[in-house]
Amino acid sequence: MDVKEIAVLMSVYNRKEKTLRCLSLCYEQMDSITRSGKYRFSVYLTEDGCTDGTADAVLEMFPDVHIIHGDGNLFWNRGMCAAWDEAAKSSPDFYLWLNDDTMIRPGAVACLLENSAYLGHRAIVAGTAEDAHGVLSYGGRTRYGRIIQPDPVIPVACDMFNGNLVLVPDYVFRKLGTLDRYYTHSFGDYDYGVRASRAGVTAVVAPGVLAECDRNPVVPQWRNPDVSIRDRYRAIMGPKGRPFKEQFRYDFRAYGPFHAVLHFLSLNFKVIFPVRK
């Protein structure tokens, strides 16, 4: 029997307890699927200069995890690229993106694999997460960012997706490569969906809600009126904000030059005139 290899890709920073819980849930499913004799797994985890002992704790509990060490400047997107580069050396059949704050539910990985098989292992399959209140938080999205309600039975097409739980077959990797390392923290996952669409690669949302993950705070620092305008600009230009060059590249690629310029102007307007409480 031809055993297919799945490389799990993670990028983490100073969330030790969440990272360990996420890995524990993932390993439960990996062990169950491995017993079928059809798949085997390997985990590639970038720890971007963690200071809370994440790397040591991971190796103590899961000694077979491949740890890639960053210097604190990789952030999510480039950390994922580092993990992906290392994983690609063994030429696995699939790459599974997994955020360490995303707690997968029983059967989640099997669901992704089943739907990938249904589509001939030629499509990106994204999983949906909901928050503690049962509200959809991350998953497949429309072209303009609206989250898509998953069907309970069949996969549903999407234009882009959050990178919390995503299965990328090797067929797709060979067409698109890794995430675009021009981006530091954000944009890379959405951008991958845009690139997939342009390359004629299908992206779908797997059936059902497969994980739990709370959304990040709604009002970012760069829109907080209690923060000085200088610090608001520092926040929006920071890796976890909306760095103008990265935002412009994404907007230009996804929507064209007019939208990119308009969005640049609107972001500046929002920094200068922030949200009022």
Question: What is residue 276's predicted lDDT score, i.e. its pLDDT?
Answer: 64
Confidence of residue 216 (pLDDT cuts 50, 70, 90): confident
Mean pLDDT computed over 211-219? 88
Centroid of chain to Cα 219: 21
Does residue 103 carry a pLDDT above 70?
A: yes
Mean pLDDT computed over 188-203? 98
Does residue 171 carry a pLDDT above 60?
A: yes
Does residue 203 carry a pLDDT above 80?
A: yes
Are 220 and 186 in contact by the 8 Å Cβ rule? The answer is no
Please give the mean pLDDT across all residues of the chain: 97
Closest CA to 121 of 95, 89, 139, 87: 95
Per-domain residue ranges for the chain?
4-212, 221-272
- The tokens for 23 are 């890995």
Question: What is residue 1's predicted lDDT score, i.e. its pLDDT?
Answer: 65
Main-chain phi, psi angles of 260, to 5 degrees: -60, -45
> Residue 229 and residue 222: Cα distance in Å, rounded?
8
pLDDT tens digits, one per residue of 42-59: 999 999 999 999 999 999
Confidence of residue 250 (pLDDT cuts 50, 70, 90): very high
Report the percent of the chain where pLDDT is more than 90. 96
Question: What is residue 218's predicted lDDT score, i.e. its pLDDT?
Answer: 74
- The tokens for 100 are 């360490």
Report the percent of the chain where pLDDT is more than 70. 99
CATH number belonging to the domain at 4-212, selected among 3.40.50.300, 3.90.550.60, 3.50.30.50, 1.10.3720.10: 3.90.550.60
Letter for the amino acid at 121? H
